[in-house]
Amino acid sequence: MLNKMRPKLDSMKEQHQKILKEKSNELAGQLKTLEDLQSMKQILKNPSTARNMDLEGVKEEIKTTHGDIETMERGLLFAVLPKGLVDEANAILEIRAGALRKSNVGSDAMINISGSIVFGHLKYETGDHRTQRVRLRRLGDATHQP
């Protein structure tokens, strides 16, 4: 039985090593960005080294690096969140006015959102509202009641 399982186990081991290497490279890049940011902050704190540098350029670089770090943090968050079968799918965002709201403009809006991992990002959205997943075959319904 072990001989029959050996190819599958070897394949799984290779896949795990590949994923580990990818995540390790990703983390190394993020660590480098963080180290660069710390270095730039240190330059701004030390007047003797800052005199010879373009301070505005350093400040701009820090802003850019902060943005990079925020993007990486979001990426890390989504990397550790559980993956669903439909995370790669597009999504249709439907907005409906509350039952007690009157409007001359309209009470409903629908937006088709497509791209990379759209549903995966939107399924964790938060706020003071109700979220409901609608199956594709029910998109033509007037209301999407379960």
pTM: 0.39
Q: Are residues 103 and 53 in the same domain?
A: no
H/E stretch holding 66 = helix 55-80
Q: Are residues 39 and 61 in the same domain?
A: yes
- pLDDT tens-place string over residues 135-146: 666 555 545 444
Domain end marker among 32, 50, 80: 80
Q: Are residues 67 and 98 in the same domain?
A: no
Separation between Cα atoms, residue 23 and residue 41, nearest integer Å: 27
Question: Residue 3: is its pLDDT beyond 70?
Answer: yes
In the chain, the N- to C-terminal Cα span, in Å, equals 47
- pLDDT tens-place string over residues 84-111: 777 788 888 887 776 666 767 777 788 8
- Taking phi first (over 0 means left), then psi (-120 to 50 degrees means alpha), and beta for anything else, what does residue 93 get? beta
Mean pLDDT value across residues 27-56:
72
Structure tokens given for 46 = 């030390």
Domain end marker among 34, 53, 80: 80
- What pLDDT score was predicted for residue 120? 79
- What pLDDT score was predicted for residue 50? 58
Q: Are residues 40 and 98 in the same domain?
A: no
Question: Residue 2: is its pLDDT beyond 60?
Answer: yes
Question: Residue 113: is its pLDDT beyond 70?
Answer: yes
Q: Are residues 72 and 120 in the same domain?
A: no
In a domain, 7, yes or no: yes
In a domain, 143, yes or no: no
Report phi then psi at 95, rounded to 5. -115, 130
Q: Are residues 69 and 95 in the same domain?
A: no
Q: Are the C-beta atoms of 68 and 36 separated by less than 8 Å?
A: no
Most confident of 14-18, 43-47, 61-65, 120-124: 14-18
Q: Are residues 47 and 98 in the same domain?
A: no
Burial class (CB in 10 A: 0-12, 13-18, 19+), 62: middle
Domain count, the chain: 2
Q: Are residues 7 and 74 in the same domain?
A: yes
- What pLDDT score was predicted for residue 34? 75
Domain end marker among 31, 51, 80: 80
Q: Are residues 21 and 54 in the same domain?
A: yes
In a domain, 30, yes or no: yes
Print the domain residue range for 122: 91-138
In a domain, 85, yes or no: no
Q: Are residues 66 and 96 in the same domain?
A: no
Cα distances from 99 to residues 91, 96, 102, 107, in angstroms, run 24, 9, 8, 9
Q: Are residues 74 and 53 in the same domain?
A: yes
